[in-house]
């Protein structure tokens, strides 16, 4: 897959009804802070959270699929209003297919923003394959679009702005 020019990108973005997000390295910077009892802490970027709320308000569905379990992330995602969440998912593709079918969407109507090898089956399948500036080479190689921001530093907001902007649904 190669990068798309702006017109090709906009044409694909106009079709998108659901943006699927990875957590580690996308919604977060990929760092895990491990506490004395093994509990994990991660950071979230507030501008990304605002973008998610905006997307949902403007009718763009958001879904999250992650390989790691995280009760705190589950709570935050629910607080943001996301209803399609699959954490602790070793194989992302079946989870994606389940959610896609539940939403009644075709692959061309789905975008995925992911940064590493577990995201590749989704990036190869969706209508709009998106990755972050500091992604693993494998994700960079098959993405239609790469954010300017790194994971956990505004990449999610950029992806949402791109899709809503192409659809004329980005508030001024």
Q: Which residues bind Mg ion (CB under 5 A)?
A: 22, 24-25, 115-116
Nearer to Mg ion, 130 or 164 (CB): 130
CA 162 to chain centre: 13
β-bridge mates for residue 84, sequence order: 63
Nearer to Mg ion, 18 or 64 (CB): 64
Nearer to Mg ion, 22 or 48 (CB): 22
Nearer to Mg ion, 48 or 115 (CB): 115
Residue nearest Mg ion (C-beta atom)? 25
Beta strands 33-34; 40-41: pairing state: antiparallel
Nearer to Mg ion, 116 or 158 (CB): 116
Question: Least distance (Å) from Mg ion to the CB of residue 164?
Answer: 23
Nearest by Cα to 141 from 160, 158, 125, 117: 117
Q: Which long-range contacts (CB under 8 A, 24 or more apart) does 126-132 make?
A: 126/20, 127/12, 127/15, 127/16, 128/9, 128/12, 128/13, 128/15, 128/16, 128/163, 129/1, 130/159, 130/162, 132/25, 132/26
Question: Least distance (Å) from Mg ion to the CB of residue 126?
Answer: 16
């Amino acid at each position: 897959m190669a990068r798309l020019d702006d017109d090709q990108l906009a044409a694909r973005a106009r079709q998108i009804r659901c943006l699927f997000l990875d957590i580690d390295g996308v919604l977060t910077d990929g760092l895990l802070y491990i506490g004395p009892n093994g509990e994990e802490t991660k950071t979230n970027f507030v501008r990304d959270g605002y973008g998610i709320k905006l997307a949902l308000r403007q009718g763009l569905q958001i879904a999250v699929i992650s390989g790691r379990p995280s009760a705190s992330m589950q709570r935050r995602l629910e607080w943001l209003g996301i209803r399609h969440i699959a954490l602790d998912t070793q194989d992302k593709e079946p989870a994606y297919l389940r959610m896609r079918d539940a939403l009644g969407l075709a692959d061309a109507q789905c975008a995925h923003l992911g940064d590493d090898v577990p995201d590749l089956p989704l990036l190869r399948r969706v209508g709009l394959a998106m990755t972050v500036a500091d992604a693993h080479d494998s994700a960079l190689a098959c993405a239609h679009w790469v954010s300017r921001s790194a994971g956990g530093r505004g990449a999610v907001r950029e992806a949402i702005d791109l899709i809503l902007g192409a659809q004329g649904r980005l508030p001024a």
